[in-house]
Amino acid sequence: MTAHITKSWIQVPSNSDFPIQNIPFGIGQTADIPPFVCTRIGNSVVDLHALSELGFLEGLGIDADVFAQSTLNALIACGKKAHQQLRMRLIELLAEDSAIAEHESSIMLPISHVQMLMPIQIGNYTDFYSSLEHAMNVGKMLRPDNPLMPNWKHLPVGYHGRASSIVVSGQNFHRPKGQFKPDDAAMPLFGASKQMDFELEMGFVIGKETALGESVSVERAEEYIFGFLVFNDWSARDLQKWEYVPLGPFLGKNFASTVSPWVVTMEALEPFRTNAPMQDVQVLPYLERTNQKTFDIQLEVFIKPENGAENKVCTSNYKYLYWTFHQQLAHHTINGCNLKVGDLYASGTISGPTPNAFGSMLELAWRGTKPLTLADGTQRSFLQDNDTVIMRAFAEKDGLRIGFGEASAKVLPTL
Amino acid sequence: MTAHITKSWIQVPSNSDFPIQNIPFGIGQTADIPPFVCTRIGNSVVDLHALSELGFLEGLGIDADVFAQSTLNALIACGKKAHQQLRMRLIELLAEDSAIAEHESSIMLPISHVQMLMPIQIGNYTDFYSSLEHAMNVGKMLRPDNPLMPNWKHLPVGYHGRASSIVVSGQNFHRPKGQFKPDDAAMPLFGASKQMDFELEMGFVIGKETALGESVSVERAEEYIFGFLVFNDWSARDLQKWEYVPLGPFLGKNFASTVSPWVVTMEALEPFRTNAPMQDVQVLPYLERTNQKTFDIQLEVFIKPENGAENKVCTSNYKYLYWTFHQQLAHHTINGCNLKVGDLYASGTISGPTPNAFGSMLELAWRGTKPLTLADGTQRSFLQDNDTVIMRAFAEKDGLRIGFGEASAKVLPTL
């Protein structure tokens, strides 16, 4: 019904991440307006609370107060049918010749005037490890003769991460301190991490809860997903190396993770379906894919030194992941682990087949042996203080571009 | 001021976990009364919402609606001064000759009439690994020549766990299914776990949040803790063994964990301070203990087969932990990881020095080589379907007993 709508009464710059076909969701606030649910078109933020107050969002099965919350959780909990109807309504309202154009001043804000907040209250956060190239790269550094663990192709390896320290793009953080032990030291040392790294990831947000004991099949996984966002799983490699045996990453990760402010829905990503990589080891039946496709989403990472230019250091793609999000969710719930609305499931570092597609400094500079040279002539094996890391993601096909904006933050010096 | 009060107008059975000196906090409900904050004395539950409606909880800096919540989080967020004043007020109200005795019928319920609910909305859950005996036992099974990892005595090893599947005592769950790989199998198999285990733990609940980037010192750790509860970290050993390399436990743990319904406050535990074990490796300054004491809390585990008697299989003590809760919290935050009210930090399996003090079936039956024989003549290397595991905890000294009640749940057959 609205699939043909491609133009809005709002000016959308060519090459914008946010045409009328996107309709991502986020939480904004201004000096005058407390947190509100919003979407974005071009460089304009649409205040859904204001739209709702004007009566334009009635009949969708969504209570008006849902649009005045400080997270998207209440909206997400309304269910997929409600989101889809809301999306259609917004596309209609933003289409050419819409009756709401006269209300522009009360419902629209320039993006530059809006502070975007953490969009989700994340109850549970899991990080997978689903890129074969990343697992092989890291494995080769640690175990040259035997890079891949025996379980890796049988199940999407994952672990629980820290929800409290996941923050929205633009919130800078201090370089963590902690214990690390150089190979030639007898005892661990204490200090600021010397090996600050990023990890290029994407995450999906759960839209429908399950009861304890219930499992979600590969076939039905998409019913449980609200949308996707860009995720930087900041990592302090030296802390991680010393602490992670035998129970996994802890302080090397939980000091901060950064998400993009916009959650892009499954519906917006639909035109960008593509096949996931073939799996060359037969998986158990509960993990078998039938027709499930992944998404072709281009990913970029930039390092921007203080007062310097952006340097693109990585070009990767979500489609490279060996394990699809359907398989991740089916595996996570096969034992009856319950899902909650607002849970975040991150992909793990998304590395591609070529060296410029590696999704972390550890891999790009190959454990410090091949430092990157930036435009200003400085070199990086890991991140320096006041480096900003910017991750961008967008899907593009037949002239349509659906983007995520960016997940960006600066590594401040240790406190 | 109230320290001398030792008797209540409520009858308290001798040997009760809940004398007037305890005043634990929980959430109850009945068929007629929606969730309410409560405490317990003897076998009576005191409805704090009803007490508040009668005007007995005024002047404490706690809004009345805090007592009508379905979790303790809002109460906890009121801060330590408010909790301490509430505790004092309740002790006065429950003391002999109190004016509230005439209101008994509107504020008291027999425990048998109250359903106890999950007391906390847990935002973040971390599990430590702080028992030297447990780490040594598990290490000996896996690496007889080198049981302890090199980092173990330098930092309290921990990992992030799953919050969504933590349930309250009395909520049974189904044996999880998943992948496991016998040593002699070429490929992993799928089915119900054959190695269902419990882990005897205690956990503490965070009472005060920190900002991202902030650290909590060993000296100040107690300011951030609201109270303690009993915790069963159910574990499927066969799933865990296959999946846990290299990122730690995942589906082998996240199908269910059980907490006791009552949170016992730091104030109630104060008389039971004792020294923690000496640490024979010098730790880094941020982990050094000065005068910090732990608690002498006796722990017991019982297995009750369907229609059978309770069999005590383990007698341990919280004081055996090598790493104290002060050190756990200082370590967790040294990198700036932020704390939230309602976070749960579990101790890891608490094993003691003697074989009857081992806190898991893995250790008690020594990996299946020394099965336990129950009173009904049946044997256990791991848990069978319909076995109920009951954990109890209490501190006792000079005639005073402060208990936690129990954390109990039955392993139902796989769905």
Is it the case that residue A1 has pLDDT exceeding 50?
Answer: no
Mean pLDDT of A227-234: 98
- Largest Cα separation within chain B, whole Å, is 73
pLDDT tens per residue across span A51-80: 999 999 999 999 999 999 999 999 999 999
Q: Is B342 on the interface with A (CB under 8 A)?
A: no
pLDDT at res. A96: 87
What are the domain boundaries of chain B? 2-117, 125-412
- Residue A329, C-beta contacts closer than 8 angstroms, at least 6 positions apart: A216, A218, A221, A224, A225, A339, A345
Question: Nearest C-alpha of chain B: how many angstroms from A10?
Answer: 38
Dihedrals phi, psi of B269, to nearest 5 degrees: -85, -10
Alpha-carbon distances, residue B399 vs A4, A126, B14, B40, B272 (angstroms): 79, 47, 10, 19, 12
What amino acid occupies position B2? Answer: T
pLDDT tens per residue across span B262-305: 999 999 999 999 999 999 999 999 999 999 999 999 999 999 99
B229 neighbors B203 (Cβ within 8 angstroms): yes
pLDDT at res. B5: 76
pLDDT at res. A142: 84
DSSP string, B20-56: TTT--BEEEE-SSS--EEEEEETTEEEEHHHHHHTTT
pLDDT tens per residue across span A201-230: 999 999 999 999 999 999 999 999 999 999
- Comparing CB atoms, the residue among B181, B212, B236 nearest residue A256 is B212
pLDDT at res. B354: 98
- Residue A250, C-beta contacts closer than 8 angstroms, at least 6 positions apart: A243, A244, B157, B158, B159, B160
pLDDT at res. B99: 81
The alpha carbon torsion through A243, A246, A247, A249 (nearest 10 deg) reads 40
Question: Two tokens at B296?
Answer: 């002498």
| Choices 3.30.930.10, 3.20.20.105, 3.60.21.10, 3.90.850.10: CATH for A125-412 | 3.90.850.10
How high is the mean pLDDT of chain B? 96
- A-B CB pairs within 8 A amount to 183
| Residues 124 through 183 of chain B touching chain A, CB cutoff 8 Å | 124, 129, 149-151, 154-155, 157-165, 167, 171, 173-174, 176-179, 181
State yes or no: is A134 an active-site residue: yes
pLDDT at res. B29: 98
- Comparing CB atoms, the residue among A151, A162, A213 nearest residue B160 is A162
Chain B partners within 8 Å of A123 (Cβ): 123, 163-164
pLDDT tens per residue across span B155-179: 999 999 999 999 999 999 999 999 9
Q: Which of A19, A59, A55, A58 is nearest to A39 (CA)?
A: A19
Dihedrals phi, psi of B315, to nearest 5 degrees: -130, 110
Q: Is A54 on the interface with B (CB under 8 A)?
A: no
Dihedrals phi, psi of B308, to nearest 5 degrees: -110, -175
Cβ of B177 within 8 Å of Cβ of A246? The answer is no
Question: Two tokens at B64?
Answer: 């009345």
Is the preceding omega at residue B246 within 30 degrees of 0, hence cis?
Answer: yes
Question: Two tokens at A54?
Answer: 């004007």
Q: Is A302 on the interface with B (CB under 8 A)?
A: no
pLDDT tens per residue across span B110-159: 999 999 999 999 999 999 999 999 999 999 998 888 899 999 999 999 99
Helix (H, G, I), strand (E, B) or coil at B193: coil
Chain A partners within 8 Å of B286 (Cβ): 190
Mean pLDDT of B336-358: 98
d(CA A203, CA A229) in angstroms, rounded, equals: 5
How high is the mean pLDDT of chain A? 96
Q: Which of A296, A356, A290 is nearest to A320 (CA)?
A: A296
Radius of gyration of chain B (CA): 21
- Comparing CB atoms, the residue among B123, B174, B188 nearest residue A213 is B174
Q: Is A218 on the interface with B (CB under 8 A)?
A: no
Q: Which of A49, A83, A134, A332 is catalytic?
A: A134
d(CA A250, CA A281) in angstroms, rounded, equals: 31
Per the DSSP assignment, residues forming a β-bridge with B126 are: B160, B345
Q: Is A380 on the interface with B (CB under 8 A)?
A: no
Helix (H, G, I), strand (E, B) or coil at A331: helix
Domain A2-117: assigned CATH number = 2.30.30.230
d(CA B325, CA B218) in angstroms, rounded, equals: 9
Chain B partners within 8 Å of A150 (Cβ): 181
pLDDT tens per residue across span B51-107: 999 999 999 999 999 999 999 999 999 999 999 999 999 999 999 888 888 999 999
- Quote the DSSP letter at residue A99: G
Chain B residue with minimal CA distance to A154? B188
Chain A partners within 8 Å of B158 (Cβ): 247, 250
Q: pLDDT band at residue A3, thresholds of 50, 70 and 90?
A: low
d(CA B253, CA B346) in angstroms, rounded, equals: 13
Q: Tell me whether strands B189-192 and B177-180 are parallel, antiparallel or unpaired.
A: antiparallel
Helix (H, G, I), strand (E, B) or coil at A69: coil
Q: Which range among A92-101, A158-167, B180-189 shows the weakest confidence by mean pLDDT?
A: A92-101
d(CA B333, CA B348) in angstroms, rounded, equals: 18
Cβ neighbourhood burial of B377 (10 Å; 0-12, 13-18, 19+):
exposed
Q: pLDDT band at residue B363, thresholds of 50, 70 and 90?
A: very high
Q: Tell me whether strands B257-259 and B225-232 are parallel, antiparallel or unpaired.
A: antiparallel
Is it the case that residue B3 has pLDDT exceeding 80?
Answer: no
Helix (H, G, I), strand (E, B) or coil at A260: coil
B119 neighbors B261 (Cβ within 8 angstroms): yes
A247 neighbors B138 (Cβ within 8 angstroms): no
The alpha carbon torsion through B361, B365, B366, B368 (nearest 10 deg) reads -100
Is it the case that residue B4 has pLDDT exceeding 70?
Answer: no
pLDDT at res. B142: 84
- Quote the DSSP letter at residue B357: G
C-alpha B57, offset from chain centre: 28
Question: Two tokens at A281?
Answer: 């080891």
The alpha carbon torsion through B161, B165, B170, B172 (nearest 10 deg) reads -110
